[in-house]
Amino acid sequence: MIEKTQATAPGIRPGTAPDGLDARLVVDRGVFRLDVSLTVAPGEVVALLGPNGAGKTTALRALAGLTPLTDGHLRLDGTALERTPPESRPVGVVFQDYLLFPHLTALDNVAFGPRCQGASKAVARARAAAWLERMGLAAHAGAKPRKLSGGQAQRVALARALATHPRLLLLDEPLAALDARTRLEVRAQLRRHLAEFEAVAVLVTHDPLDAMVLADRLVVVEHGEVVQEGAPSHIARHPRTDYIAQLVGLNLYRGEADGHTVRLEAGPALTTTDDLSGPVFVAFPPSAVTLYREPPAGSSARNHWRCEVAGLETHGDQIRADLSGELPLAADLTTVAAAELDLHPGAEVWAAVKAAQTHAYPV
Amino acid sequence: MTRADRSDAATETLRGGPRRRRVRTGAVGRGVPLPLLVPALIGLAFLIVPLVALLVRAPWRSMPEQLTSADVWQALQLSLVCATAATAVCLVLGVPLAWLLARVEFPGRGLVRALVTLPLVLPPVVGGVALLMALGRNGVVGRWLDAWFGITLPFTTAGVVVAEAFVAMPFLVISVEGTLRAADPRYEEAATTLGASRFTAFRRVTLPLIAPGIAAGAVLAWARALGEFGATITFAGNFPGRTQTMPLAVYLALQSDPEAAVALSLVLLAVSVAVLAGLRDRWMSAG
């Protein structure tokens, strides 16, 4: 697969074991089976992206040693870790709701790791203070977790995880517990800290924006399996499943290409500017769809289908129309256009897409 | 009823039930059906009248000399020392037991939990007899204690502590296990990922988090140990200065000197009220 080869670059130096993470995580729970392979180079940030229940958190727990592997392997900087208990793994975890110890101050929370690694109380505290300073939290060192804001707690959690000098940093939905406004700010800070981190970082999220902003590479997990991986921009342009297409806001179809015509599995044929043959994906953004009340005879669009409005959703000053019919698709239009077309659930419309705005690529 | 329910029920009772839920809708009794109101009031009187009677019949005039007599002091001192020692034993053994029941999956856990609770419902006298069979000079374990270490427990002060701990431990275990189950085990996981062994995680994270539950359990166990009668008299006997605790002294005094019995009872009542007050103010409201 093209995106795999171009994205993965484990730091293999001649004569040394490969640095970074090399894992195949298999966790079998009978009704659910996780089987995910991950290769991450030092300094790289990888996001496991997927819907709820896809197995992302299980994968993270397996990396941390909190959930035992049924099968597979886990090597970090050349050292096998499958049998290493969690307390002996060079792994730091930022949990979804941070799990800061409520009875300890921010400083002692961060000093907890160094203390467990054998540092004296004074040394551990000095190290913790340096981390808090770096996170811009020196003023809150003496505060108990419940006195911290969401963004501050997130940074304390990050400092606590980093204070043990992990070779693998795991972040479970690092921004999920924050409100929308703090999120923006914390996301930017987190991106900066992750960029500075020299070892392997793996984060789990169901939010495509978080994943695309924070990670160098995305690994999309569905039903316990990797369905696609690659650079965020690549995945956004070439989604391989409905889930990813919906995430990045694209209409995605599978079909059989013959030159510029693609016979879609959904039924109708579609004309594209790409010249391909064999099984392909065709994608186009909802904004490329134009809607008409009458068959668009005079339109230059060569792809048009009769549809029925199944639902309408407002996004800012845009309306996203969910269309069913010959070809189920999503269309974006302005509120003015929607009013002119008298769109309402059940209304019959014609949808058209210009060939130039579609994008076909091999499966 | 599950274990947690039971300990909740226990703390709820101590807290004085759900607070401020009064039925005060205009005229007294309006809206409250008589078949419920009458037994309720009789029940209330049944619980309160004996305590009031104790206060009414107290020999207030001779009280000072009653309470300053050497015998009373001796019994009171012995009671406090033994109850405290028994609570310490309960803490040292009971907290780990509660952790085991709450955090470790093992076959027969339900059965073990039932066995732990048994002393709670067992008649204390039976407990005393059972202790004699186990730790008596010819008991299953006591024989070896005697032969190898020269330790005899029955009819000694240490025996009092053993009897009290036996009866009081379930209170502590149930209370602590309930708190542990309510506490988020992921804090222990977080500690583990920071390099803490399971024991360090327990000591530095779990223990501080469940401290209120441990304190409440310890007070319950202490109060139970302080009032313990049946198991103590069966296993440790009734020797003044050695095994005669306050409840035993009260019982004995009732035969010869009822006034003294009432005075001693008042002391125990005062201690109980103090325990209740302490629980309410310190831990119960915080928890």
Angle, helices A106-116 vs A150-162, to 10°: value is 20
All residues at 6 or more sequence positions from A88 whose CB lies less than 8 Å from its CB, including other chains: B195
Residue A3 clears pLDDT 60, i.e. is over it: no
Whether A166 and A225 share a structural domain: yes
Is B193 within 8 Å of A88 when comparing Cβ atoms?
Answer: no
Is B193 within 8 Å of A117 when comparing Cβ atoms?
Answer: no
Is A92 within 8 Å of B193 when comparing Cβ atoms?
Answer: yes
Task: Indicate whether B53 belongs to any domain.
Answer: no
Residue B16 clears pLDDT 50, i.e. is over it: no
Task: Indicate whether A181 belongs to any domain.
Answer: yes
Task: Indicate whether B116 belongs to any domain.
Answer: yes
**Domain holding A75: CATH number?**
3.40.50.300
Q: Looking at the complex, does the CB of residue A59 fall below 8 Å from at least one CB of chain B?
A: no
pTM: 0.72
Q: What is the mean pLDDT of chain A?
A: 86
Q: Looking at the complex, does the CB of residue A116 fall below 8 Å from at least one CB of chain B?
A: yes
Is B184 within 8 Å of A99 when comparing Cβ atoms?
Answer: yes
The 8-class DSSP code of residue A139 comes to G
B25-39 average pLDDT score: 76
Distance from CA of B287 to the nearest CA of A (A): 14
Q: Examine the fold and report which residue of A245, A272, A292 is the final residue of a domain before the chain moves on.
A: A245
Whether A96 and A187 share a structural domain: yes
Whether A78 and A180 share a structural domain: yes
Structural domain tally of chain B?
A: 1
**Closest CB from B184, B189, B194 relative to A164:** B194
**Domain holding B240: CATH number?**
1.10.3720.10
Task: Indicate whether B245 belongs to any domain.
Answer: yes
Task: Indicate whether A274 belongs to any domain.
Answer: yes
Domain hosting A240: range is: 2-100+148-245
pLDDT bucket at A61, cuts 50 / 70 / 90: very high
Is B195 within 8 Å of A66 when comparing Cβ atoms?
Answer: no
**Domain holding A266: CATH number?**
2.40.50.100
Strand partners, A281: A254, A361
Q: Structure tokens of A220?
A: 């999309």
Q: Using CA atoms in the order A285, A52, A155, A131, what is the torsion angle rounded to 10 degrees?
A: -110
Answer whether A84's CB lies under 8 Å from A63's CB. Answer: no
Whether A282 and A229 share a structural domain: no
| Residues of chain A contacting B208 with CB distance shorter than 8 Å | 101, 103
Task: Indicate whether B54 belongs to any domain.
Answer: no
Q: Looking at the complex, does the CB of residue A57 fall below 8 Å from at least one CB of chain B?
A: no
Whether A92 and A189 share a structural domain: yes
B5-19 average pLDDT score: 45
Domain hosting B219: range is: 66-284
Task: Indicate whether A202 belongs to any domain.
Answer: yes
Whether A74 and A206 share a structural domain: yes
pLDDT bucket at A299, cuts 50 / 70 / 90: low
Amino acid at A12: I
Structural domain tally of chain A?
A: 2
Task: Indicate whether B81 belongs to any domain.
Answer: yes
| Residues of chain A contacting B183 with CB distance shorter than 8 Å | none
pLDDT bucket at A314, cuts 50 / 70 / 90: confident
- Let me know the angle formed at the C-alpha of A345 by A342 and A347, rounded to the nearest 5 degrees: 55
Whether A281 and A199 share a structural domain: no
Task: Indicate whether A132 belongs to any domain.
Answer: no
**Closest CB from A88, A89, A99 relative to B190:** A99
Whether A183 and A44 share a structural domain: yes
Answer whether B161's CB lies under 8 Å from B85's CB. Answer: yes
Whether A189 and A281 share a structural domain: no
Answer whether A57's CB lies under 8 Å from A221's CB. Answer: no
Between B263 and B94, where is the model more confident? B94
